[in-house]
Amino acid sequence: MAAIESKGAAGLGALKLGMDALAGFVGFGCVIASVLGLYVTVPGLVAADGADWLWMRLVYAASMAVGFLIVRFCAYAIAKRKCTVLLAGSLVGFAAMVGVLFVPADSQLVRLCFHCVMALGLSLLVVQWFSYICSQPYRMVLMLVAAGIAAGIAGCLIEGYLVEVAARTMLVVMWAVSLGCMAALVRFRPDDALPPVIGNRESDKRSKILWTSTIMLSFSSFEFGLVVSVASEAGAAALCLGAAFCAAVLLAIDCMNKRVVTERGMSPITPPLTMLSFVVMFLFDDIVQMMALCFLAALFSIYTVFGWAAMAEHTRISRLSPLHTFSKARFYDYIAMALGLAFGFAVFSMAQHGGLLAVQVSAVVAIAYSFLAAFCHKARFPEAGVEDVGHVSLPETKGLWKKRCRAVCEQHGLSERQYEVLVLVAQGRNAKYIEQALTISLSTAQTHIRNIYRKTGVHSRQELLNLIEDTKLYGED
């Protein structure tokens, strides 16, 4: 009877873990659908023409940037209060969305306030979901982000084919489901949903790789704004969403298998193709323009997946504040998105009156992107050999070596104390030295070493060193 009870408890535990993962996937997919719906679907439901659409989208981008800026400067206080401010702000934003979609307002000022509060509340919910992403196991992050973005794009795509009342209802339901899933995770899985309390000063110590990830994400957001503006004016929003959905699905399938597609592998070919897409977008009409827009939309989908995964990995390995790190990066993203929205609308207007100027302006942006991509590639993907273990005395290599140790801990489930022991063992220290350095007993130090060997599957210090050296950080093949 005891054995049956034990088996039943284990089964319930596995079911609970599965429900937690399902809630995380559904909630993350719904928040992505809400963000996309805010820029793609909502303007068509509550605005009259393209000019009004641009105005609304700029308000949304600016409001979300302000929301991320608030979280950036208040990250420590928000995390210390267990993110109640984020959930409360998201709930207020949800109420504002209901008001925007279902309650008519005569005053222009009241409408503007509702739109601002709605976008600001959504930014708070997005930050909360990034904290959840950071808490997931190492091998799950990329797959979860790719699958969640694919599900979110699919939700936004469905909204475009619904009748007006159904589309409004679906937008509200998406936000409500995302908020409900996050509230449930905070209640029942606080270790996953609640970020650690890390001071802002600590989380400002960002690596160059993380900074260049932010730059590339910002340009990707600029692309998103451009595609949204031009595709809405050209009637190609559904095609662009379809291309982005296919790219995210293929990336999610690849993540579940051997991971053939990597950001480093794509980096040599995407800049020239992106430049070509910018130039031909207004050089030709109809089919070629649609293909260029779809290609940029697919790239946005792929690089959003890679960008979120990169930020999550660097946040964990470098022990940064998820709230502060992510909100700081997303602030720049949404400023770039506002520029992309305005640029896309302006260039499309130029193309309607004379295509040459539009092509010239797009060519300037394409050239600027090529220089930006070259700079970021050098920082994100250093040449082989700079991490040589024989040069661990160099300060920057020592930092990289520690990050590899942290990555080993993430991948093999080592505890924080075992990470400290791992770093010392990798430096050639024996159990006696570890006993004195960490103020633990000799038997405890030996136990930690045995457990590290067991969890990592190695049998000697040399094998452990080889494992650390072979462990790749984000962006490395």
Cα-based distances in Å from 107 to 103, 104, 114, 168, 248: 12, 9, 11, 21, 41
- On the 0-12 / 13-18 / 19+ scale of CB atoms within 10 A, 474 is buried
Report the pLDDT value the prediction gives residue 155, as an integer from 0 to 100. 93
Report the pLDDT value the prediction gives residue 272, as an integer from 0 to 100. 82
Report the pLDDT value the prediction gives residue 32, as an integer from 0 to 100. 95
Report the pLDDT value the prediction gives residue 392, as an integer from 0 to 100. 35
Report the pLDDT value the prediction gives residue 51, as an integer from 0 to 100. 64
Written out in words, the top-level CATH class of the domain with range 2-380 is: mainly alpha
Token pair for 449: 């070493």
Report the pLDDT value the prediction gives residue 348, as an integer from 0 to 100. 85
> CATH 1.20.1250.20 region(s) of the chain?
2-380
CA 477 – CA 471 distance, rounded (Å): 10
Question: Own/partner pairs for 137-142, CB < 8 Å, 24+ apart?
Answer: 137/410, 138/313, 138/407, 138/410, 138/411, 139/411, 141/309, 141/312, 141/313, 142/255, 142/259, 142/305, 142/306, 142/309
Q: What is the pTM of this model?
A: 0.80
Under a CB-based contact definition with an 8 Å cutoff, are residues 199 and 321 in contact? yes
Closest residue by Cα to residue 157 from 281, 289, 32: 32
> CATH 3.40.50.2300 region(s) of the chain?
389-470
For 389-470, CATH gives 3.40.50.2300
Report the pLDDT value the prediction gives residue 472, as an integer from 0 to 100. 66
Report the pLDDT value the prediction gives residue 396, as an integer from 0 to 100. 38
CA 308 – CA 460 distance, rounded (Å): 35
Report the pLDDT value the prediction gives residue 123, as an integer from 0 to 100. 96
CA 452 – CA 10 distance, rounded (Å): 26
Report the pLDDT value the prediction gives residue 277, as an integer from 0 to 100. 86
CA 135 – CA 191 distance, rounded (Å): 8
Report the pLDDT value the prediction gives residue 71, as an integer from 0 to 100. 94
Report the pLDDT value the prediction gives residue 247, as an integer from 0 to 100. 93
pLDDT digit string (tens) for the chain, length 477 residues: 233 333 333 333 434 446 778 889 999 999 999 999 999 999 988 876 666 888 999 999 999 999 999 999 999 899 988 889 999 999 999 999 999 999 887 788 888 999 999 999 999 999 999 999 988 877 788 889 999 999 999 999 998 889 999 999 999 999 999 999 999 999 888 888 888 888 655 454 445 556 777 787 788 889 899 899 888 887 888 999 999 999 999 999 988 877 777 777 777 788 888 888 888 888 877 788 888 889 999 988 988 888 888 888 778 777 788 998 899 889 999 999 999 999 988 888 888 876 678 888 888 888 888 888 777 766 565 543 333 333 333 333 456 677 788 888 877 878 888 888 888 888 778 888 888 778 787 888 888 888 888 888 888 888 888 888 777 665 554
Report the pLDDT value the prediction gives residue 364, as an integer from 0 to 100. 86
Q: Look-up: residue for tokens 């990597």?
A: 262
